[in-house]
Amino acid sequence: MRVYQPLGQSSMCTELSAKEQETISRWKGGSLAAERLLRPKPVALGSVVVDPPLFQAPLLEYTNHFFRLLVRHFGGVGLTCTELVHARGLIECYERTGQLPEQLWGVDIEPGPLAIQLWESDLQWLKRGVAFVASQLRPSVIDLNFGCPSHRVAGHSGGGAALLKTPERIGELVAAAVESAGSIPVTVKIRLGWDPSTPVAARVAQVVEQAGAAGLCVHGRYATQRMGGKADWNAIAAVRPHLCRIPLIGNGDIATPQAAYRAFVHYSVDGVMIGRAALSKPWIFRDIAAYLAGKPIPAPPTLDQKREILLGYIDRLEESLAPRRALVLAQKYACRLVHEQVAATRVRLAISQARSLAELRRVVAQAFER
């Protein structure tokens, strides 16, 4: 049995002893469910060290500057990431207005390590976008999205997951991005393929590594599944033998510390990326980090603390955005954070019906009353 661990910029294959194999087998059978067997090592993305190896997934209209600060506040996250940004849209927005698009607000003052994620199907626009980000914004990592299945990205523009239909084209785009990024590591996020009839993750893994990518994240679904069904972690693990040097990050349905731990032990990934679960529990990285370190999982925030989290989030949006835009984003996130509240359906309805930030604040205050 082999366990892969990051070493510098590569992944090292290490043989386990018969005793270690037996211990892991007992864990998989449930007899050692509470015991910490292997503690994941930091992940090296080029010169950038991600420690702990826990990655915040980019989610459109959710993982903005204020959400990322919230995740950082609780701790445990190794690398945060912006919402996905269209490379051409970034350049055109800046040339037209002298301003960055909303998805990149705050990146210049935000603590790192931080990744900026770009998507683009046109080689020249990608090169311009990467060069701009590398020279003007200097993030820790530049991530390329080849996994978004949305119509706006994959359908209308032929970017994101649509490019999984042409792995060699992905290689060309990655190579161009690596050249334009200079010393900043370039990573790649993909899905298993466009649909179950075309599993291409292994081939894409080889292509992006050869093109110079510093890391690969695989979401365990096909594009046509969107977020339906369950993430296939066996398919994620099957990508491992096709990578020689760069780390593999797994993504999909990680909602508990125990699930994250199983991903490291059972599927031999170097890192774990968490998306939707972090929206309702921005403290999940803290909890996972504690569990991986063999420490007790901290108690979740109290009702009062959750109320203050939301009200503070609303305040920061109001300070930075136009009232209508601030209201829309605040409503989207508030509906996520109250997901596990008593009478959550009723509360979400009241949140969505709020017509002003003041009204939304009243709804939030009532929702978290004792």
Q: What are phi and psi of 276, to 5 degrees?
A: -60, -35
CATH number of the structural domain spanning residue 190: 3.20.20.70
- Pair 220, 338 in one domain: no
7 in any annotated domain: yes
Q: What is the dihedral of CA 264, 287, 49, 168, to 10 degrees?
A: 50
Query: Is-contact 58 83, C-beta < 8 A?
Result: yes
- Catalytic, out of 13, 81, 93, 148: 148
- Pair 168, 268 in one domain: yes
Cβ neighbours of residue 323 closer than 8 Å, sequence gap 6 or more: 356, 357
3-state DSSP assignment of residue 283: coil
- Pair 192, 335 in one domain: no
Which CA distances in Å does 327 have to 91, 102, 223, 324, 362?
27, 15, 30, 5, 13
- Pair 109, 226 in one domain: yes
Q: What are phi and psi of 33, to 5 degrees?
A: -60, -30
- Going by the DSSP 8-state scheme, the letter that residue 319 receives in this structure is H
Instruction: Give yes or no for a cis peptide into 113 (omega within 30° of 0).
Output: yes
**Count of helix runs (H) and strand runs (E) in the chain:** 14, 13
Cβ neighbours of residue 25 closer than 8 Å, sequence gap 6 or more: none
Q: Say what the pTM is.
A: 0.86
Full pLDDT tens readout for the chain, 370 residues: 333 333 233 333 334 445 445 544 544 444 444 445 568 899 999 999 999 999 999 998 899 999 999 999 999 999 999 999 999 999 999 999 999 998 998 999 999 999 999 999 999 999 999 999 999 999 999 999 999 998 888 887 899 999 999 999 999 999 999 999 999 999 999 999 999 999 999 999 999 999 999 999 999 999 999 888 999 999 999 999 999 999 999 999 999 999 999 999 999 899 999 999 999 999 999 999 999 999 999 999 988 898 999 999 999 999 988 999 999 999 998 998 887 776 788 889 999 999 999 999 999 988 877 5
- Pair 188, 252 in one domain: yes
Q: Where are the alpha helices (DSSP H) in the chain?
A: 18-28, 65-74, 87-97, 123-132, 167-181, 201-210, 233-237, 257-267, 276-280, 284-292, 303-320, 323-337, 344-353, 357-367
Number of Cβ within 10 Å of residue 124's Cβ equals 11
Q: What whole-number distance in Å separates Cα of residue 102 and Cα of residue 143?
A: 18
297 in any annotated domain: no
Radius of gyration for the chain, computed over Cα atoms and rounded to the nearest angstrom:
21
Domain stops at, among 292, 316, 335: 292
Q: What are phi and psi of 143, to 5 degrees?
A: -110, 140
- Pair 330, 259 in one domain: no
Q: What whole-number distance in Å separates Cα of residue 118 and Cα of residue 78?
A: 20
69 in any annotated domain: yes
- Pair 180, 32 in one domain: yes
Structure tokens of 170?
Answer: 């992905």
Return the residue matching tokens 């970017």: 159
Diameter of the chain by CA atoms? 63
Number of Cβ within 10 Å of residue 247's Cβ equals 27
Q: What whole-number distance in Å separates Cα of residue 185 and Cα of residue 213?
A: 7
Domain stops at, among 246, 272, 292: 292
Domain housing 362: 303-367
Structure tokens of 324?
Answer: 């209508």
The angle formed by the CA atoms of residues 96, 98 and 99, to the nearest 5 degrees, is 105
- Pair 63, 146 in one domain: yes
Q: What whole-number distance in Å separates Cα of residue 249 and Cα of residue 4?
A: 12
Spell 261-270 as b/e; 16+ CB within 10 A means b. bbbbbebbbb
Q: What whole-number distance in Å separates Cα of residue 161 and Cα of residue 364?
A: 37
Q: What whole-number distance in Å separates Cα of residue 119 and Cα of residue 139?
A: 16
Domain stops at, among 257, 272, 292: 292
- Pair 231, 142 in one domain: yes
Structure tokens of 228?
Answer: 């339906």
pLDDT in the model for residue 366: 86
3-state DSSP assignment of residue 59: coil
User: How many structural domains is the chain composed of?
Assistant: 2
Q: Is 148 a catalytic residue?
A: yes
